[in-house]
Structure 1
Amino acid sequence: MPTPETATPAPAGVIHDIGYQRYQGVRLGRGYVVGSLYAHSLRTAFGLGRSAKAKIFPWLIVGIVAVVAAVLAAIRAQLGQMPLSYAQFPQTLILLILLFCAVVAPELVSRDLHSGVLPLYFARPLRRGDYALAKWGALATAAFLMLAGPLTLMFAAIAFTLDDLGAVWREFGDFAPGLAYLAIHAVVFSAVALLVASLVKRRAVAAGAIVGVFLLTTPVVGVLSVLPSRTANQLAGLASPATLVGGVGDWLFESSGDLGIGDFGPLYGLVTLALVVTCVALLLARYRKVAAQ
């Protein structure tokens, strides 16, 4: 009879080969993950790949903008001039840009916060800053395309009614500042909207908070604009993101001149840049904090 010292110990466990194989393909890495997140977020902004209900609002906004662009193109074809220039187009439809960002930004970030899926994102080779910048880039791109598409179609429709290439080139010279002004709107509004949305888990509350940030600053502009000081009147637009961007447009593109910013155009530009940088920095800090929780 074997003694305890000479007995063969029972195996602690058995490894079974059930057919799994190691991945031998190319590991695409962090850049591919960021690009995929950006593309997925851009599709989400327009409801692509989602239910029909998710497509209603963004495409309704696009449809409204397209109708406005078509009407302006028809007026230009009939009368030879438009009531709005290309550069005035985004400022006239600024409320639609605000509503678009207010609804889409919570879809991009508040949903992830509410459902608690961020640890799954960060388990991959995706940095916290990558997530925030991809979402911001997607929202800014969506807001830009929402108006740039109809504006481009309006330019194309007008270009086909012109007589020679010189006229088309002059028309393009008016069209290009409109696209640049659109980009400024998209960058500023998306930065503010995404920062606010990143602080609120409920999408409806986040949308209301975004609208509130823009609208609650408007009375400040009104008060400053009626003060007896001319300098205060010219600086009043700095108090609200909407009028701030409008001041940049008046400075760079002479879109309307309604704000009366005087010689403070460069200041409007610097404050706009500072606003974007501050919002993005706070957004990155926000996601560093979320990751640590």
Structure 2
Amino acid sequence: MSVENQPAGVIHDIGYQRYAGARLGRGYAARSLYVHGVRTALGLGRGPKAKIFPWLAEGILLLVAAIVTAIRAQTGEAVISYTEFAAQLSFLIILFCATTAPELVSRDLRSGVLPLYFSRPLRRSDYALGKLGAMVTAVWLLQALPLTLMYLGAVFSVKGGRAVWHETVDYSKGQLSALLFGLVFGAISILIASLAGRRAVSAALIVVAFLVTSPIFGVLQVIGTGAVKQLSGIINPVSLVLITNAWLTGDQGKDFDEIAGYGIYYALSTVVLIVGCVLLLLLRYRKVAR
């Protein structure tokens, strides 16, 4: 068939148009990623199965806070202080981190959607910091709501403006502790979860990373002497946060008398741990999905 006899091509107008709306850019994308991460961590906008553990964990913490508040209303004594609340229930927070962090980052690694994220104005550092921010916020919220319930119950139990002021100061110390728990636990969990694409593997590694330090800390407390014993809490995230918070707030009770002179080392260790995890996380996402 000659060229002249071939049928001519036809262009069909099916209505495609160029996007003419506002381009919200990198900042909007980063904020949206953060908000979506917080919602994912709390199971919001997802199916019933995704809501089971975060809501169960929050429910348990609120129940404990309600019981503590009721006991205080009856006896006038605080069974658990604001700063001790998270430490007493740290295993539940660890389990929350082990289920939430893999949901935030491991799923994206395994499904291979990271190139789609990075093809937009969103940078690799934006993705990493957005996921970290969502994790820190989720861990903080997990503690902040029960602490607020305890505070409201205490305010109605005490008498006088001075007592309310002292209660408010103690509550602020508890919120600082909750923020430190969020920063330390969130940074460690997200970093570990970013190393594995399988959620089960990531969850197991997170639990092991937190729990393996407890027996080591206990052994050093028993056999250690001098500075070794006083600094042994640095290797355990829970004791690291508690002692750092006690040093920052000046609330060094009988449990912290022995490390009073070493508080600065715990605070510096906390900063180094958080900064180190953030830098390693950024380095991880510079190399992934290349």
- Tell me the CA shift for residue 243 of structure 1: 2.3
Kindly tell me the number of residue pairs found equivalent between the two proteins.
287
Mapped contact 1:218–1:240 kept (Cα < 8 A): yes
Task: Write 1 or 2 for the structure with the bigger share of helix.
Answer: 2
Report 1:71-110 matches (<5 A). 71-110=67-106
TM-score between the two structures when normalised by the length of structure 1: 0.91
TM-score between the two structures when normalised by the length of structure 2: 0.92
1:223 aligns with 2:258: no
Q: CA RMSD in A?
A: 2.1
Q: Deviations over 1:2-32 (max 9, x none)?
A: xx9xx98989965433222222211111111
Report 1:143-182 matches (<5 A). 143-182=139-178
1:13/1:283 CA distance change after superposition, 3 Å: farther
1:257/1:97 CA distance change after superposition, 3 Å: farther
Give me the whole-angstrom Cα distance separating, in 2, the residues matched to 1:130 and 1:227: 45
Q: Pick one of 235, 243, 246 that aligns with 2:242.
A: 246
Give me the whole-angstrom Cα distance separating, in 1, the residues matched to 2:193 and 2:36: 18
- Identity, in percent, stands at 54
1:280 aligns with 2:278: yes
Q: Deviations over 1:97-134 (max 9, x none)?
A: 11111110000000111111111111111100100100
Report 1:1-293 matches (<5 A). 15-253=11-249, 254=251, 257-258=254-255, 260-292=258-290
- Tell me the CA shift for residue 44 of structure 1: 0.6
Mapped contact 1:46–1:59 kept (Cα < 8 A): yes
- Tell me the CA shift for residue 50 of structure 1: 1.2
1:65/1:21 CA distance change after superposition, 3 Å: same
Q: Deviations over 1:180-210 (max 9, x none)?
A: 0110011000000110000011111110100
Q: Give the unaligned 5+ runs of structure 2.
A: none
Mapped contact 1:234–1:262 kept (Cα < 8 A): no
- Tell me the CA shift for residue 46 of structure 1: 1.1
- Tell me the CA shift for residue 251 of structure 1: 2.1
1:135/1:12 CA distance change after superposition, 3 Å: farther
Give me the whole-angstrom Cα distance separating, in 2, the residues matched to 1:76 and 1:26: 55
Q: Give the unaligned 5+ runs of structure 1.
A: none
1:12/1:240 CA distance change after superposition, 3 Å: farther
Q: Which has the larger radius of gyration?
A: 1
